[in-house]
Chains A and B, each alone.
Chain A
Amino acid sequence: AQKITQTQPGMFVQEKEAVTLDCTYDTSDPSYGLFWYKQPSSGEMIFLIYQGSYDQQNATEGRYSLNFQKARKSANLVISASQLGDSAMYFCAMREYNQAGTALIFGKGTTLSVSS
Chain B
Amino acid sequence: DTEVTQTPKHLVMGMTNKKSLKCEQHMGHRAMYWYKQKAKKPPELMFVYSYEKLSINESVPSRFSPECPNSSLLNLHLHALQPEDSALYLCASSQDLRQRVRWNEQFFGPGTRLTVL
Query: What is A's interface to B at a CB cutoff of 8 Å?
Result: 31, 33, 35, 37, 42-47, 50, 52, 89, 91, 95, 97-98, 100-104, 106-109, 111
Q: Which residues of A contact B106 (CB under 8 A)?
A: 35, 45, 47, 103-104
Whether A35 contacts B50 by the Cβ 8 Å rule is: no
Given contacts A44-B109, A45-B92, contact A103 B42 (CB under 8 A): no
Q: Residue B62 at the A interface, CB < 8 A?
A: no
Tell me what chain B mostly uses at the interface: helix, strand, loop, or mixed: loop
- Nearest chain B CB to A92's CB is how many angstroms away? 9
Q: Residue B111 at the A interface, CB < 8 A?
A: yes
Whether A100 contacts B102 by the Cβ 8 Å rule is: no
Whether B41 contacts A108 by the Cβ 8 Å rule is: yes
Query: What is B's interface to A at a CB cutoff of 8 Å?
Result: 33, 37, 40-43, 45, 48, 50, 55-56, 88, 90, 92, 97-100, 102-111, 113
Q: Which residues of A contact B41 (CB under 8 A)?
A: 108-109
Whether A33 contacts B55 by the Cβ 8 Å rule is: no
Q: Which residues of B contact A31 (CB under 8 A)?
A: 100
Whether B33 contacts A103 by the Cβ 8 Å rule is: yes
Q: Which residues of A contact B98 (CB under 8 A)?
A: 100-101
- Nearest chain B CB to A24's CB is how many angstroms away? 15
Whether B104 contacts A33 by the Cβ 8 Å rule is: yes
- Nearest chain B CB to A93's CB is how many angstroms away? 8
